Amino acid sequence: MSKKILVVCLGNACRSQMAEGYLRYYTNGFVPVASAGIRPGELHPLTVEVMEEDGIDMSGHYSKGIDQVDRQEYDYVISVCDEAQTALPIFPKGTLLLHRHFPDPAGATGTRTEQLQEFRQVREQIKKYVLKFVGKELQDVPIQLA
């Protein structure tokens, strides 16, 4: 049986979308992955841009709320910001809840170049976390490393 993963952040606009993109990519589609927000907003255009720079297709991604996903079906729930961790609804017993806070690049200020740099830094942090997670938790899944 395939393990299912849900990634949650506050707005489902940046961090959880990045994590979902990398999880889908590195598990070659063998693992069902979704993301959601506590208070969903719009998918941030710079999220799409920096992920596509790294070869991750974001064309099917859109922001959705935690109330739009079936909480009964996930084996892993990963919160990627402190706000989401404290506001998570109840998940069934047996669901593994993981947490790793990443800074919110949506708050980046300055020039477009400076904003992109902040998004890239967060992207790289999330990419590193996802690779570690996949290597540790999903050892039975054929992963893609390039």
Q: Report the alpha-carbon distance of residue 89 to residue 112 in Å, rounded.
A: 36
Cα 121 from chain centroid (whole Å): 15
Helix and strand element counts for the chain (H, E): 4, 4
Report the percent of the chain where pLDDT is more than 70.
94
For the record, the structure tokens of 74 come out as 């996930």
* DSSP state letter for 26: H
Q: How many residues does the chain have?
A: 146
Structural domain boundaries in the chain: 5-137
Whole-number average pLDDT of the chain: 92
Give the pTM. Answer: 0.93
* DSSP state letter for 42: -
C-alpha closest to that of 29 among 57, 9, 10: 57
Backbone angles phi, psi at 121, to 5 degrees: -65, -45
Average of per-residue pLDDT across 25-53: 94
For the record, the structure tokens of 81 come out as 């910001």
Dump pLDDT digits (tens) for 87-132: 998 899 999 999 999 999 999 999 999 999 999 999 999 999 999 9
Fold of 5-137: Rossmann fold (3.40.50)
